[in-house]
Amino acid sequence: MIAIPFILNTLASFLVGLLVAKFLGPAEYGRYAIAMAIGIVWQTIGFDWLRLSATRFTSAGERAERPEIAATLQALFLALSGFTLVVALALFLAPDALPLPPALISLAALVALANGTFDYSSAVLRARFLDRSYRNLVLARTSLSLVLIVGGAYFFKSAEMALLGLVVSMIGAAALANGDIVDREATPRRALKSQAASFAVYALPIVAANGLYQLAPLMNRSLAGHALGFAQAGQLSLAYDMGLRIVAAVGSSVDVLLFQLAVRAEKERGLEAAKAQVGFNVGAVFAILAPAVVGCWLVLPSFEALLIPEAFRGPFAHYFALQLPAFLCFALTMYCVGPMFQIVHRTWPVALGGAASLAANALAATLLPVGDDASIYALAQSASSFTGFVVVAVLAAIYAPARLSMRDIAGAALAAAAMALAGLPLRAMAPGVVTLAAQIILGGLVYGAAALALDLCGLRALVLRKLAPRRLAV
3-class DSSP assignment, residue 453: helix
**Sorting pLDDT into bands at 50, 70 and 90, what band is 254?**
confident
> Per-residue pLDDT for 345 more than 50?
yes
> Per-residue pLDDT for 250 more than 80?
yes
Closest CA to 442 of 279, 310, 343, 302: 302
Decide: 397 and 390 in contact? Cβ < 8 Å: no
Amino acid at 300: L
Residues 126-185: pLDDT tens digits? 777 777 888 888 889 989 999 999 999 999 999 999 999 999 999 999 888 776 677 666
Quote the pLDDT of residue 341: 86
Decide: 24 and 157 in contact? Cβ < 8 Å: yes
Structure-model confidence comparison of residues 206 and 303, the more confident one: 303
160's enclosing H/E stretch is helix 159-176
3-class DSSP assignment, residue 287: helix
Closest CA to 104 of 25, 35, 17: 35
Report the half-sphere exposure of 350 (CA within 13 A, side-chain side): 29
What end-to-end distance do the CA atoms of the chain give, in Å?
Answer: 29
Helix orientation angle between 230-269 and 315-322, rounded to the nearest 10 degrees:
40
Residues 257-270: pLDDT tens digits? 777 777 777 777 87
Average pLDDT taken over every residue of the chain:
88
Q: How many helices (H) and strands (E) does the chain have?
A: 18, 0
Backbone angles phi, psi at 374, to 5 degrees: -95, 25
Quote the pLDDT of residue 236: 97
Mean pLDDT of the 352-359 span: 94
Residues 395-409: pLDDT tens digits? 998 987 877 888 899
Given CA atoms 82, 83, 85, 89 in this order, what sign does their dihedral have?
Answer: positive
The residues spanned by each domain of the chain are 1-191, 202-465
**Sorting pLDDT into bands at 50, 70 and 90, what band is 472?**
very low
Closest CA to 157 of 18, 346, 21: 21
3-class DSSP assignment, residue 454: helix
pTM of the model: 0.88
What is the distance of C-alpha 83 from the center of its chain?
25
468 contacts: CB under 8 Å, gap ≥ 6: none
Decide: 360 and 213 in contact? Cβ < 8 Å: no
Quote the pLDDT of residue 63: 59
Quote the pLDDT of residue 467: 57
SS (H, E, C) 223-284: HHHHHHCHHHHHHHHHHHHHHHHHHHHHHHHHHHHHHHHHHHHHHHHCHHHHHHHHHHHHHH
Residues 30-62: pLDDT tens digits? 999 999 999 999 999 999 999 888 887 776 555
Distance CA 117, CA 126 (A): 14
